[in-house]
Amino acid sequence: MIKLLADENLDNTIIRGLLRRNPDIDIVRVQDIGLSGEDDPVVLEWAANERRVLLTHDVATITRYAYERLAQDLAMPGVVEIRTDAPVGSVIEDIFIILECGVAEDLDGQVYYLPM
């Protein structure tokens, strides 16, 4: 099962839509684990330690830090970058395709951009 971490900037409508469709999705929010306001490298480190794929709208900095982790040979279980202007329904469908058709190892060290 792919475990998810929602960045604090992620539209909560996406999270609610995912959970409405499948309440068993393993997703936690940065706000719920005491990482609100933390720098991106701290969030990525926590995600790596917990083997959670990060869902974010923060294309400006998260991607850079994710690739830096890979360059340093550090764990990076994956990042899914979601455009802020993307239709929420399409984003939810794309995330479900990833969750239903993939395994955690498919996302390891990868950055995906949604919508597909």
Q: pLDDT tens across 60-91, in order?
A: 899 999 999 999 999 999 999 999 999 999 99
pLDDT in tens, 49-62: 999 999 999 988 99
Q: In total, how many domains does the chain have?
A: 1
In a domain, 68, yes or no: yes
In a domain, 36, yes or no: yes
Range of the domain at 22: 6-84+100-114
In a domain, 94, yes or no: no
Find all residues with CB under 8 Å of 33, minimum gap 6, and list them.
46
Give the side-chain half-sphere CA count within 13 A for 89: 0
Cis before 23 (ω within 30): no
